[in-house]
Structure 1
Amino acid sequence: MFIYALLLLTFALALFSIFFTFTAAAALFRHSWSRLLVGLSLGVFIYLYGTWVYLTIEAKYAFGICLLLALVIGALRRKRGKRASRTWQVGFNLLFATGFTLLSILYFTGTTPKPATIELAFPMKTGRYFVLQGGKSLPTNLFHYSLRGAIYAMDIVKLKPDGRRANKIFSRKLKDYEIFGDTIYSPCDGRVLKAYGNNPDNIPPDMSRGPNNTNQVIIETTNSYIFLGHMKEGSVIVHDGDLVQQGQALGCVGNSGFSSEPHLHIQAHKKVPGVPWYQGPPLYIHFNGKGYLLYEVIRPKRVMMVEK
């Protein structure tokens, strides 16, 4: 029900921003400038943070076009005689507009200093993928922020041709999710620190097995650790101590551990002698030279597979 509530809220706020933008643009600018700021700042906020993918990512782009049309059509139909906003209304409008603008800025910057980065190859094949959770710490990566210092961790799903991630908004069938069973390839050269794959996959949205039942591969490099989790039961084909090359198959995407739907969880940490891998300084991941934020689409280069 939580997902349905978020989706309903996304569309309600989107419609409100379109209405506010249109009516403010249709009035004299000196009377409606603060209302126009609210409409546009809310529109940008919901474009960036809206949970569009639970229906289809194409809805996000349709909303962006509708918001611009509301601004243009409203300005072309501008009428005289609209009552000016009162002083207290202007104050509230500026307060809301400032809040939405600040959150939109933090979407791109995060709340931490400039993060240390790590360059990796995208670990899946050609297609359209999507950052379901991720970003530069707060406020875009709230869920991961307190998990073993995983402030730059990413949850990745795959999109169908029509922009959906699954056959239903929240299906209980694992095979309905586009990413379920996708092969995961090593994003770098390294040594397998830990590999495990015997835990059963959860039936969405059940997460009762908790984080200790996550099928996973942890790769150790000269300077870092890369964790790939929630892999499919019985799919992990590497073992502790194996040397792996970039593009070598590791296993498949599943739904094991603390996971409500099939996805790939990936995080990276700087290697510090004598410190557990998850306590090292977190690293912001670049895939093929590019960093990605919450709700961004990833179009990876084709994975060069390594025969083993």
Structure 2
Amino acid sequence: MIPAGAVELALPFEGRWKAQNSPASRVPSHGTELFGTSHAIDFVPVGADGRSAPRTLASLIGTERPETFGGFGRPILSPVTGEVLATHDGEPDHVARRSPLSLLGYALTQSSRIRAGAPAIAGNHVVLRVPEGVVLLAHLRRGSIQVRGGQRILQGAKLGECGNSGNSTEPHLHVQVSDSLLGNARGVPLVFARPTGGPWIPRNGEIVDV
């Protein structure tokens, strides 16, 4: 079901991606309404086997370099035609965590990242202005952002590359619409233009192939 007043976006990538933390499956999609994330969605780049990276000993008991993930560095495209409101770059792409032990340790440090503010949560990111507020594309690769604040861009223009910066356990893209960039920002429902036509919201685990 398409929410009333939802902002329609173009898919901000090409290739094969898996939807996670989708508002089609629950709201708030990320378990909180903080930072305007109530209707946010994550997309994880995957291969033909539906995995983000091969399973190795490190993926079972330790951490992994983000460069070992096939989607690390994939182009991220603008989902709208409009103005770049703000950008942030320079945050490191930290190690990826898929093992239960490494994920537990990461969860225990979540509160410290929230206290550190937007850069620690969103990592490297681009914010675009839309009539309903702003579109945030987060967790980009350090040094990959190709646009600047105040710049007018077209839908489909390259913004940067998929990374693992900020509050991220493996390379992926976080997309959200909110009414502002303020600390008390409210999330705005979003939908995407389906490649075969019509608006839709991918559900958790759904593979999107563009």
C-alpha displacement at 1:148, in angstroms? 2.0
* Among 116, 140, 157, the residue aligned to 1:248: 157
2:13 counterpart of 1:124: yes
* Among 85, 108, 131, the residue aligned to 1:222: 131
Change (3 A) 1:137 1:250: same
Any unmatched runs of 5+ in structure 2? none
Contact 2:134-2:179 within 8 A present in 1 as well:
yes
TM-score (normalizing by structure 1):
0.54
Higher strand share: 2
* Among 180, 185, 188, the residue aligned to 1:282: 188
Kindly indicate whether structure 1 or structure 2 has the higher relative contact order, using CA contacts under 8 Å at least 6 residues apart.
2
- The equivalent of 1:195 in structure 2 is 87
- The equivalent of 1:299 in structure 2 is 209
Amino acid of the structure 2 residue aligned with 1:130 = K
Change (3 A) 1:132 1:280: closer
Radius of gyration: which is bigger? 1
- The equivalent of 2:39 in structure 1 is 152
2:158 counterpart of 1:266: no
Amino acid of the structure 1 residue aligned with 2:52 = R
Identity, % of aligned pairs?
27
Question: What do you get for the CA RMSD once the two structures are aligned?
Answer: 2.6
SS in 1 for 2:38: coil
Q: Distance in 1 between matches of 2:186 and 2:33?
A: 14
Q: Distance in 2 between matches of 1:139 and 1:269?
A: 14
Query: May I ask how many residue pairs the two structures share in their alignment?
Result: 184
- The equivalent of 2:76 in structure 1 is 184
Q: Distance in 1 between matches of 2:27 and 2:132?
A: 28
Deviations 1:108-166 (A, max 9, x none): x7xxx9453111111111x221112212463782x343332312111101121122111
Q: Distance in 1 between matches of 2:184 and 2:78?
A: 19
C-alpha displacement at 1:174, in angstroms? 0.9
SS in 2 for 1:194: strand
Change (3 A) 1:140 1:293: farther
Q: Distance in 1 between matches of 2:136 and 2:6?
A: 15
Any unmatched runs of 5+ in structure 1? 1-108, 301-308
